[in-house]
A = this chain, B = another copy of it.
């Protein structure tokens, strides 16, 4: 069996190898992805985000188990854009997930930061494509950090879940504009704590302010990850949201948006690799000139590009 067939047949080692090739941005990965592309489009991607300590990992674990009970194959991608001060957390999460990795119907993988912001987003979605082609029914994308890059990745998922907890300082006032709007499902975790009702009310009030009437109000699910309470409801809410999105054509709309963004990133990336060699030799010369104040950086960049223009290789 060739490599592509092994991936489609969900061979865990081949999946792992291909995702590593993607992280390494190898040409081989590019060729394999081309061949895999026609086998994608069946998995539903679920993005999970929320502040640190909200219990995202526990919810991902429990949700994956619930989906397995419904006989669904589940892929989990943990995205960690290398926040240099959060080491350890990811490893800890993975250890907690050990009981899941023994299950043949589950594939867990963490991905770190490689190259640029756009690069990580694209690599994540290439990994999603691999898991999709390998026959996963659901692919959960979980972010470890909470930066803009993580949110950029999460919001490309078919269904976005925002996990909040009561008593997080100024509650949802602490969440910047733009985050509430990307959520398709709200989870209020640790809902056995005081302040749960207040948080639910605040979410509802915030949703009422949202001028986007094109989609219906996102459901709010209360969970207690520690006891597993509410996870069944979360699973059913996901199934319901998925059905709704499919019927309303929202799923396809979201996917076209994702494709559009991916295409832009690919064009940039491929084009830059094409022009890079033509100006590489000039960079050092101009660095000296700029340092010596013979030219300003902007004029130097324009001059280098002008000079390289005729040398761009197809």
Question: Could you tell me which A residues sit within 8 Å of B by CB distance?
Answer: 30, 33-34, 37-38, 41, 50-52, 81-88, 113, 116-118, 145-149, 151, 169-170, 173-176, 178-179, 252, 255-256, 259-260, 262-264, 266-272, 274-275, 279, 283-284, 286-288, 290-291, 293, 296-302, 304-306, 309, 312, 314
Docked-complex contact B252 and A296, CB < 8 angstroms:
no
Q: Specify which of B148, B275, B314 is in contact with A83 (CB 8 Å cutoff).
A: B148
Docked-complex contact A175 and B85, CB < 8 angstroms:
yes
CB distance from A304 to the nearest CB of B (A): 6
CB distance from A301 to the nearest CB of B (A): 4
Docked-complex contact A304 and B267, CB < 8 angstroms:
yes
Query: So how many copies of this chain end up in the complex?
Result: 2
- Residues of B with C-beta under 8 A to A252: 291
CB distance from A42 to the nearest CB of B (A): 12
Give the one of A83, A175, A291 with max B CB within 10 A.
A83
- Residues of B with C-beta under 8 A to A306: 314
Residues A297 and B170 in contact in the complex (CB < 8 Å), given A87-B176, A260-B283, A275-B271: no
CB distance from A104 to the nearest CB of B (A): 28
| The 9 A-B residue pairs with the shortest CB-CB distance in the complex, in nearest-first order | A37-B296, A266-B301, A51-B85, A117-B117, A84-B176, A147-B147, A85-B146, A84-B179, A260-B287
**Assembled-state Cα–Cα distance A173/B306 (Å):** 48
Nearest B residue (CB) for A148 = B82
Docked-complex contact A305 and B256, CB < 8 angstroms:
no
- Residues of B with C-beta under 8 A to A113: 148
27 A/B residue pairs, CB under 8 Å, sorted by A: A34-B299, A41-B293, A82-B148, A84-B147, A84-B151, A84-B176, A85-B175, A87-B176, A113-B148, A116-B117, A147-B149, A252-B291, A256-B288, A259-B287, A259-B290, A260-B283, A264-B283, A266-B298, A266-B300, A267-B301, A268-B272, A269-B301, A270-B298, A270-B305, A271-B275, A271-B305, A306-B314
CB distance from A155 to the nearest CB of B (A): 11
- Residues of B with C-beta under 8 A to A287: 256, 259-260, 263
Docked-complex contact A301 and B263, CB < 8 angstroms:
yes
Docked-complex contact B309 and A84, CB < 8 angstroms:
no
Residues A37 and B293 in contact in the complex (CB < 8 Å), given A117-B117, A169-B88: yes
Q: Specify which of B149, B151, B263 is in contact with A297 (CB 8 Å cutoff).
A: B263
